[in-house]
Amino acid sequence: MENEKDIEDAKAHFEKLIKDQLERIKHLKAEGDWIDYSHIKPIIIGIIGGDGIGPEISKHTKSVLEFLLEEEMSKGKIELREIEGLTIENRAKEKKAIPDDVLAEIKKCHVLLKGPTTTPRKGDKWPNIESANVAMRRKLDLFANIRPVKVPEKNIDWVFFRENTEGAYMLGSKGIKITDDLSIDFKVITTQGSERIIRLAFEYAKRNTINKITVVTKANVVKTTDGKFLEIAKKVAKDYPKIEWDDWYIDIMTAKLIDPSRQSQFRIFVAPNLYGDIITDEAAQLQGGVGTAGSANIGKKYAMFEAIHGSAPRMVEEGRAKYADPSSMLRASIMLLDHIGLKEKAFQLERALDICTIYEKEVVLTGRSTGGTGEEFAKYIMKTVKNPDLEYKWKIHQ
């Protein structure tokens, strides 16, 4: 039979994927409770520079955090620790998304603040290694990607819950090239993985008295996996009868996010991995670009906060790295501080960042010599945080 060996190889490959996922489900069923940061001293914040402009914006973000957390660090409540080695050069050399020694250092931290990392793509000079982000989310079980987006003048106040460890990205590097004419990729959705992200979104809505959740799938076409996600949403929603919810397909959802007549009607979104990736970047663009948005990746034991934009190698090649905007990492830092219980510090940084980027704009970043440098912007943020009239200045702009 023609292609019989190709078919048998593909069946063996698929069988292994199924066994791996069934084993993963056992671990999901046995997962423990959420970490309690109030009992940890010091809370270790690992800072990962990453690739391209990552080390530059990480450096400036670290300076702001050191300034903001000076008291907590002097009392041994917080430790900032730099994690080396999560670079494309080192990952390519080790042929691993996350080298073993780097992962060991990462696991010694409680939370991570991460710059952008480069993901190899077909045709470039790097080996076909998995995305460091995808690997990190899986190895640390960071199942919830949470991204807030606010555009006050458009009455937009959104929070996105993107499932991080399943969907099309879970097995994105494990597809099969069966013949020169046929390639197949895989998508995985589990009951446990879907329920925990959907329930987290509903719990967030309940805690923050938000009465609207939108579930995003393509369940009318991708009937088995997306259909499962939607069915589980219907089941979870029954436990929250006071919260209104609806579901939209990903294609029309992308249109409605830019529809002025509908934008303000959405509040919380929950979606499988790929769809969440698409709509969160679109939403960030409405806010002012991906460079303005931060991202939280939450698990029960670990958490990672990161810039959502890429590593911008062209900026480095053109000698413009010093003009890179650290706002995305600073936005991620706000979420990090809130996550570990330092809400007042989070408020301070958020207000200062709003004043500096939305209202007063004494230092404007353009990514080029026509604007300020990242270092100048970081100093501007620290000066604004230090201002005793910070709260008053923020309120008069509201």
Look at residue 188 and tell me if it is in a domain.
yes
Please state the φ and ψ torsions of residue 268, each to the nearest 5 degrees: -125, 135
pLDDT band at 291 (very low <50, low <70, confident <90, very high): low
Same domain flag for 218 and 131: no
Task: Give 178-206 pLDDT, tens digit per residue.
Answer: 999 999 999 999 999 999 999 999 999 99
Query: Is the confidence at residue 293, as pLDDT, over 80?
Result: no
Same domain flag for 186 and 83: no
Look at residue 10 and tell me if it is in a domain.
no
What is the C-alpha to C-alpha distance for residues 349 and 391, in angstroms, rounded to an integer? 11
In 3D, which of 188, 190, 186, 195 has the Cα closest to residue 215? Answer: 195
Same domain flag for 271 and 327: no
Position 292 scores a pLDDT of 67
Q: Tally the domains of the chain.
A: 2
Domain CATH code at residue 37: 3.40.718.10
Look at residue 37 and tell me if it is in a domain.
yes
Task: Give 307-334 pLDDT, tens digit per residue.
Answer: 878 899 999 999 999 999 999 999 999 9
What is the C-alpha to C-alpha distance for residues 150 and 316, in angstroms, rounded to an integer? 30
Look at residue 267 and tell me if it is in a domain.
yes
The proportion of the chain whose per-residue pLDDT surpasses 90, expressed as a percent, equals 75
What is the C-alpha to C-alpha distance for residues 108 and 48, in angstroms, rounded to an integer? 13
Same domain flag for 309 and 378: yes
Same domain flag for 207 and 254: yes
Position 42 scores a pLDDT of 97
Same domain flag for 166 and 138: no
Same domain flag for 256 and 305: no
Domain boundary (289, 313, 348) is at 289
Task: Give 354-370 pLDDT, tens digit per residue.
Answer: 899 888 999 999 999 99
Domain boundary (254, 289, 324) is at 289
Look at residue 26 and tell me if it is in a domain.
no
Task: Give 366-392 pLDDT, tens digit per residue.
Answer: 999 999 999 999 999 999 999 888 886
Extract the tokens encoding 33. 């409770």
Please state the pTM of the whole predicted model: 0.81
Q: Which domain holds residue 44?
A: 33-142+299-398
Look at residue 378 and tell me if it is in a domain.
yes
Among the ranges given (6-15, 33-42, 59-68, 118-127), the one the predictor scored with the smallest mean pLDDT: 118-127
Query: Is the confidence at residue 348, as pLDDT, over 70?
Result: yes
Task: Give 207-260 pLDDT, tens digit per residue.
Answer: 889 999 999 999 999 999 999 999 999 999 999 999 999 999 999 999 999 999
Same domain flag for 187 and 232: yes
Look at residue 224 and tell me if it is in a domain.
yes
Domain boundary (236, 261, 289) is at 289
Average pLDDT, the chain: 92
Position 220 scores a pLDDT of 97
Extract the tokens encoding 129. 């290694």
What is the C-alpha to C-alpha distance for residues 60 and 229, in angstroms, rounded to an integer? 40
Q: Taking the alpha carbons of 381, 386, 391, 392 in that order, is the dihedral positive or negative? A: negative
> Helices then strands (H, E): number in the chain?
16, 12
Q: Which helix (H) or strand (E) holds 183?
A: strand 182-184
Look at residue 3 and tell me if it is in a domain.
no
